[in-house]
Amino acid sequence: MSMRSTFVLVSALSLAPLASAKDLMEDRLHSCQKVVEEMTSVSEGIPLDLLDKADCVVVVPGVKKAALGIGGRLGWGAAVCRTGRDVDGPWGSPLMMSLKGGSVGLQIGGQSSDFVLLIMDPKGIDHLLRSKFTLGADASIAAGPVGRNAEAATDVTLHAEILSYSRSRGIFAGLSLEGASLAQDQKGNRAVYGYRVSAREVLLDARTPILAAGRGLVDALNDLSPRHRRQER
């Protein structure tokens, strides 16, 4: 084999994992889109009035658990925030995230669960801009009320920085994730954007282009909640 042929082969092999990672991220973002659409389209799902008041949304589909009843969780998803100086613009580009850590609460059988977290407070955005933070310790989190007619102005929704929702085997519930950690998925973001990105640049800067991989998720959020109704506290 000539030196030129060897170089071409080595180059192709080195690019293969990156292409595969990009495909995986596209599949992840598509799954996030489906979870958002499905968990807001049913009567027992996420109330749209709370989505209207959310600054950001974190979607983690197919979270696996390590033990029955009490155990660890592991999953990967994406965060999307409203852009603009006052976080009142259209939904921006997705930032790839991971969810890891211990959990206590409702866990059904051996099935995986889908999670949606609504960031209801500017402090919650500050936490997302970190490389990693712990739910319940660094940021207050509570199980969100379910159902289209759920009363939004409750003590829970008024005081929690983050509201959490889960779905497992078709059953919807507001479920606290205290003790779990959310972190930026640096490898996933590099696979999507092609370079190392900052969380602030992706989440809050309207000038950051929304790539084709994330367009479905962002469009779904803009269709479901085109206007931000800031929550009074």
pLDDT digits (tens, 9 = 90+) for 135-183: 888 998 888 887 655 555 455 666 789 999 988 866 766 566 788 899 9
Q: How many residues does the chain have?
A: 233
Range of the domain at 55: 17-224
Contact (Cβ atoms closer than 8 angstroms) between residue 39 and residue 46: yes
| CA-only gyration radius of the chain, Å | 18
- Residue 83 located in a structural domain: yes
**pLDDT of residue 69 exceeding 80:** no
In a domain, 155, yes or no: yes
Question: Is residue 178, in this structure, part of any structural domain at all?
Answer: yes
Evaluate the CA torsion angle 6, 10, 13, 15 in order and state its sign: negative
CB 80 within 8 A of CB 218: yes
Q: Which amino acid is at 191?
A: A
Count of structural domains, the chain: 1
Identify the pLDDT of residue 13.
40
232, part of any domain = no
Question: Positive or negative CA dihedral for 50, 169, 177, 139?
Answer: negative
pLDDT: which is higher, 57 or 172 = 57
pLDDT of residue 192: 92
Does 1 reside within a domain?
A: no
Beta bridge partners of 113: 63
Please report whether residue 105 resides in a domain. Answer: yes
Q: Answer whether residue 3 is part of any domain.
A: no
Rounded Cα–Cα distance for residues 134 and 48 (Å): 26
- pLDDT tier for residue 10 given thresholds of 50, 70 and 90: very low
DSSP code at position 5: H
Q: For residue 8, tell me if it sits in a domain.
A: no
Output the CA torsion sign for 69, 30, 223, 133.
positive
Predicted model pTM: 0.83
Listed in order, strand segments (DSSP E) in 19-112 are: 56-65, 70-81, 95-104
Percentage of the chain beyond pLDDT 90 is 45
What is the mean pLDDT of the segment spanning 58-82?
78
Q: Specify the higher pLDDT residue, 210 or 105.
A: 210
Could you read off the pLDDT of 180-217 as tens digits, one per residue? 899 999 999 999 999 999 999 999 998 899 999 999 99
Say whether pLDDT at 227 is over 80: yes
Q: Reduced to 3 states, what is the DSSP secondary structure of residue 148? A: coil
